[in-house]
């Protein structure tokens, strides 16, 4: 059987690098939009987009730190908080894909991969939380 804790830790480690790359690319894309698409991309939309990106970046950082600490120390409460925080993070990525006024294909592809990675993390976090909450003293 696959060790859910190890799989979850690997996914969290991968996501820590991938989300950092995604945030840097998104900031670059926002500056590109401000320069090239200034006539269609006004300051109100820029503030909404940057606000959602920064909020998602903050929550995703907290989620990754809690998830990695929880999976390494076998504390299920940190993983459960990480699982709860994944839903607002997924909503922020969903905003960047579908609700944003102007999208570039690079954004759509990178954000879709992040959303897929978060869905897989959610699956393994649920398995890890169930196995971590079971009684460790009982033998089958």
Give the predicted TM-score (pTM) of the model. 0.82
Q: Percentage of residues in the chain with pLDDT exceeding 70?
A: 88
Q: How far is CA 12 from CA 28, 74, 91, 103, 107, in A?
A: 24, 14, 18, 27, 21
By C-alpha distance, which of 53, 46, 67 is closest to 24? 53
Question: Cα(first)–Cα(last) distance of the chain, in Å?
Answer: 15
Under 8 Å between Cβ of 20 and 57 = no
pLDDT above 70: residue 98: yes
pLDDT per residue over 24-58, tens digit each? 998 888 888 888 877 777 778 778 888 888 999 99
Q: Name all domains of the chain by residue range, CATH numbers in brackets.
A: 4-131 (1.20.140)
> Residue 96 has what pLDDT?
87
Cβ neighbors of 19 (< 8 A, separation 6 or more) are 57, 60, 64, 114
User: Token digits for 88?
Assistant: 């607002």
> Residue 38 has what pLDDT?
73
Q: What is the mean pLDDT of the chain?
A: 83
Separation CA 85–CA 88 (nearest Å): 6
3-state secondary structure of 7: helix
> Residue 75 has what pLDDT?
65
Under 8 Å between Cβ of 98 and 107 = no
Q: pLDDT band for position 72 (50/70/90)?
A: low
């Amino acid at each position: 059987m696959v060790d859910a804790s190890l799989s979850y830790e690997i996914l969290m480690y991968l996501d820590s690098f991938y989300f950092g790359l995604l945030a840097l690319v998104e900031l670059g894309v926002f500056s590109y939009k401000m320069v090239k698409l200034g006539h269609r991309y006004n300051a109100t939309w820029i503030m909404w987009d940057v606000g959602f990106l920064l909020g998602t970046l903050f929550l995703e950082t907290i989620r990754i730190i809690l998830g990695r600490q929880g999976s390494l120390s076998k504390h299920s409460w940190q993983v459960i908080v990480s699982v709860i925080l994944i839903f607002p993070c997924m909503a922020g990525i969903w905003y960047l894909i579908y609700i944003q006024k102007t999208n570039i294909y690079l954004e759509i592809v990178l954000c879709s991969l992040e959303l897929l990675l978060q869905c897989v993390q959610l699956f393994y976090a649920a398995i890890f939380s169930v196995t971590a909450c079971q009684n460790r003293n009982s033998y089958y």
